[in-house]
Each structure stands twice: as structure tokens, then as C-alpha cells.
Amino acid sequence: MATVSIQSLTKRFGRVLAVDGLTFEAPPGKITGFLGPNGAGKTTTLRSLVGLVRQTSGQALIDGSRYQDLAQPRRVVGAVLESGSSRPGRSGRDHLRVLAGTTGVGATRVDEVLDMVGLTGAAGRRVAEYSLGMRQRLGLAGALLADPAVLILDEPANGLDPEGIAWLRNLMRGLAAEGRTVLISSHLLSEVAQTVDRVVIIDHGQLKFTGSLAELGSGTVVVRAVQLDQLRAALGLAGYQVTAAAGALEVTGATAEEVGRVAADVRIALSALTSEGASLEAAFLRLTSSDEAPRASRFRRPSAAPAPRGNN
Amino acid sequence: MYALISNEFLKLRTSRAPWLIIAIQQILVVAALSGMAIAELDFKSPTAARLLLAHAGMTSLLVMVLGILAVAGEYRDGTITDTFLATPRRSRVIGAKLVAYTAVGVLSGILTAITALIVGMAWFSAKGYTLDPTSADVWQTLLGAALWMPLYAAIGVGLGAMVRNLASAVAIALAWIAFVEGIAINLLGDLGRWLPMASGMALDNVPQGKLLPQGAGGLVLVGYAILFAVVATLATMRSDVA
């Protein structure tokens, strides 16, 4: 059982503020999705957490300790921060043997994790011949070597086909069900929406939202109709906040029933009316697109727009 | 620390670069000594044996490239992330690599000296002369050549850890040896004897040019290796692996 705790974390690279006073927790037994557009500061945050990047201020702790202070760090934290990071000429099994050498686990464990990620058959082949998906699996195998209580994965779905994503989802669900802390980053909400229990959304290095997916989607209704402009006007008159999005309207602060009633009053036929699912992506985009007006007022805006810091 | 060093040896054993580099080195020694023997060597000269055998030492550049791969290669492959995750105290990683790569340098030095001795003896006897392996000239030159390899390996480890970008580190090493040191020697005059390539040639017992005594050349290289190791360790501890 180990909680990952980010406290007022700030990291400045020269003039670029990559992470700006970020605070959140990832609890044990849950899969936490760490979301934000490319350059939001996800990778920098995760790398600070494991001591690869030295933060400017604030703390990133695992079960109350800095990663560098853990006696056996890889036994506590398994991390995949770079997909396909292995010497191309080495075989998959040799890559894991090298990792096992400094992790303090034996050769039998190498075979076990190869089996867990379905690479037993390809273990003798050079990693150069692996597909991107196979490299992701190899990276996971390395992270799982010492059976860690915390699993940190940076964009684990990159390069995986739908079958691979489903496999990854099951694997992570199983690990979380065993009481482990799972923290996965992604720039695509849809990639992880079916996997995660909680989401932490950041943009420009700042926290935008933390909570469950249900909370993220609540209060937003997506509605479609042929007479979209009239419907928009009617909803606006009724006092709801409306934004147009690709042939549909998003209504915030309303229930589906209320939206339906407004439409009935002005005799507009609806072609779709949903209060969740589709609205998750919209909520995510609204939280992370800097030119949109509605933003939680309790968060400071960045004083100057920082240049995006490349992750992946 | 023992586990870290043996893990570096495991990395070396499971990649092809070290074996390729040592094999290429032996081929170059055979080619270089044969070329010298065929083209220009005056077998009657009292320094003939030194001149011929010292060519073996020049392949230490390859061992430096191997040393550069130790850290810069891990940055290129991305494996440095896993390495530092397993060992957050990065100074220990650099230390383990220095030990392991210096040891590989010793191995390469011994092999190269043996290859050079066999090829040298073969050419001397083919031309009707004898190369006496017990003469001071011969064993001092071979010993110097053999010691040049581990010292350049260690300097390479330091250079790779300081520069981190593999292509840049190799380019810097090649440019230095190809022309930068030559320019520096012209500018510095007598002080040029203390530069890394001139010190290596002194250690190699090359019977040409204004060089330091053999022992002094070796000590200067040890100094460079320590200086590079310290700077590389400090730089590695401070840097962000982003």
C-alpha cells in the first residue's frame, strides 16, 4: 500500500514553466489517469516523482518518501517512462536480465514476467525486431520485475492496437485490484476512459480537475437537433450556458430533462440527448483548451503562456 | 557496488559493440603494422621495432569510442532511465561503468599487444631480421600500448557522460584527434606535450616528436581520466534526465 503524493510541485526549465504548483494524490487500489494535452507537464511530473528530474520546488513523494530515499526503489515503484527503451541488439530476455541484475530478482522472475506480458515466444529475439506494441509489453515486464506496489506508466497505450489496449486494461485492473497504486498518463481521454477509476487533468502545468469520471462528465448535456440555432437561442434565453461542438450543443449546468423541456416548449424536435459519455471528451477539451472562457476560477492562470515542453 | 559492476559486465556481454570494436581493433593492428612494414619501415634502424609496434597503440581511439558508448549510448537507447531508476545514486553508476570499461580496456590492450607482437615478429622474420620480445624496446612499447587502451576507455566514459549526446561525443573525440590537438600544439608549443593525444603517444613509446617521457605520459593520462570522471560525475548528478 503506497500513496503517490504530488505537493505544490513546480519545475522550471530555463524560461519554461513546465509544472506550476501541481498538487494531487494517487491512492492505492485505484487506477488514476493523469491526463492533459501534449506539453502539459505530465512527463515532467512523473520524472520528478522518480528522481530523474529535480523539481524547482515542492515535493513528489511515494508513501511519504522521495524516490531517491527508498532503500529498494524498484521494489516499491515500477515505472515505464519511455517506450521501447532498450538496447536494440539485445534480446528481450537479456534486456530483462540486465534490469533484474540491479533489481535484485532472479532469472526465474524474468521468465515469469515474460509470460505475464505474453512475450515468452519472442524472448530470444533482438529487441530491434520487436513491434512498438511488443516494446511496450517489454517495458511493462521490466516494471513488474520486482512486483512493485506502485506502477507508473507514461503513455502506455502508445503503439498498442485495440487488442493490446484491452489486454493492458485487464492487466492494470488486476494490479489495482491487488491493492496496488496505478498511475497512467495519456493525452487522450478516450484511450483510458474505460480503464481509470479517477482522473487528474492538467494543462500548462496546472491542475484543472481531479475526481471520478462521473464527476468530470456531470452537469454537461450534449444535445443534437436539426434546428440547432433556434435551440441554442432558446437554451440561452432559459439561462443555460451553451457551447456549440460539431453539429451538437453542450449545455452546462443542466440535466437532460431540463434541456428536453426547453426544446419541447419551443417545439424543436431533438435527434439526440445525452448526459454523459460523449460529454467526457468535451469536458476534457474545455478544461484543457486555453482559449475557452469557462475555467474553474480557483485556479490561477499562467502569468505568461509557457511554451509546450515536449513529452514523447 | 559489486552488483553494479557485474551488471555493467552483463550489459557488455549482451551487446555486440564491445566484441565488434575489439575485433576491428585486431584487424586494424594487422593492417597497420603490415602497411608500415611493406611501405616504409627501415628494418635496419635501431628504432624500427618501436616504430612498428607503437602503431598498435593508435587503435586506442576505438576503445575510447567504446567508453563513450557506456553512458552516451544509454542516453541514445533510453536505457539510462531504467539505469537511474534502479540506482538513483548516479555517481555509483558512473563509478561502476568506469571500473567495467577500464577492465575491458585492459583486455583489449592485452589482446592488441599480443596481436602486434605476433605480426611484428612475422614481418621482421619475413624480411630477414629478428624482433626480440625480451628487449626493453619491444616490451616497453607493447606495455605502453596496452596501458593506453584502459586509460582512453576511462576518458571515453567521462566524455560520454559529460556530453551525453552520442554523435556529438564521438565527433568531439574524432575532431580532437584529427586536427584540434594539432592546432593546439602549434599554438601552445612545448606545453602541447601535455595534451591527451601527445601524452598517449608518449605512453606508447613512439620514437618521434617532442613527447613526454613514457611514464610521465601515462601519469598525465591518468590525470585526464580522473579529471573527466569527476566532471562527468558532477554533471550527471546535477542533470535532469528528461
pLDDT of A2-42, one tens digit each? 899 999 999 999 889 999 999 999 999 999 999 998 889 99
Q: Domain check: are A264 and A173 in the same one?
A: no
pLDDT, tens digit (0-9, with 9 covering 90-100), for B138-169: 999 999 999 999 999 999 999 999 999 999 99
Q: Domain check: are A29 and A156 in the same one?
A: yes
Cβ contact, residue pair B84, A52, below 8 Å = yes
Does residue A174 belong to any structural domain of this protein? yes
Does residue B241 belong to any structural domain of this protein? no
Q: Domain check: are A138 and A229 in the same one?
A: no
Does residue A243 belong to any structural domain of this protein? yes
Q: Domain check: are A74 and A17 in the same one?
A: yes
pLDDT, tens digit (0-9, with 9 covering 90-100), for A38-64: 889 999 999 999 999 999 999 999 999
The ipTM estimated for the assembled molecules is 0.83
Does residue B107 belong to any structural domain of this protein? yes
CA of A43 vs chain B CAs: smallest distance (Å):
8
The minimal CB distance from B11 to the residues A70, A74, A98 is found for: A98
The number of folded domains in chain A is: 2
Q: Domain check: are A109 and A240 in the same one?
A: no
The minimal CB distance from B241 to the residues A53, A84, A88 is found for: A53
* pLDDT band (50, 70, 90) for residue A67: very high
Does residue A308 belong to any structural domain of this protein? no
Q: Domain check: are A92 and A21 in the same one?
A: yes
Q: Domain check: are A151 and A255 in the same one?
A: no
Q: Domain check: are A196 and A96 in the same one?
A: yes
Does residue A302 belong to any structural domain of this protein? no
pLDDT, tens digit (0-9, with 9 covering 90-100), for B29-52: 999 999 999 988 888 888 889 999
* Domain residue limits at A260: 219-275
The minimal CB distance from A67 to the residues B10, B11, B88 is found for: B88
Cβ contact, residue pair B86, A89, below 8 Å = no
How is residue B194 annotated by DSSP?
G
Average pLDDT, chain A: 84
Does residue A299 belong to any structural domain of this protein? no
Does residue A287 belong to any structural domain of this protein? no
Q: Domain check: are A94 and A231 in the same one?
A: no
Tell me which chain B residues have a C-beta less than 8 angstroms from the C-beta of A79: 85
pLDDT, tens digit (0-9, with 9 covering 90-100), for A169-221: 999 999 999 999 999 999 888 888 888 999 999 999 999 889 888 777 666 78
User: Which residue of chain B comes nearest to A101, CA vs CA?
Assistant: B7
Does residue A208 belong to any structural domain of this protein? yes
Does residue B242 belong to any structural domain of this protein? no
Q: Domain check: are A134 and A115 in the same one?
A: yes
The CATH number of whichever domain residue A108 belongs to comes to: 3.40.50.300
* Domain residue limits at B69: 2-236
- The pTM (predicted TM-score) of the whole model is 0.82
Does residue B15 belong to any structural domain of this protein? yes
Q: Domain check: are A64 and A144 in the same one?
A: yes
Most A-contacting residue of B82, B164, B166 (CB-CB within 10 A), to test interface:
B82
The number of folded domains in chain B is: 1
The CATH number of whichever domain residue A233 belongs to comes to: 3.30.70.1510
A307 pLDDT more than 60: no
Q: Domain check: are A81 and A172 in the same one?
A: yes
CA of B2 vs chain A CAs: smallest distance (Å):
10
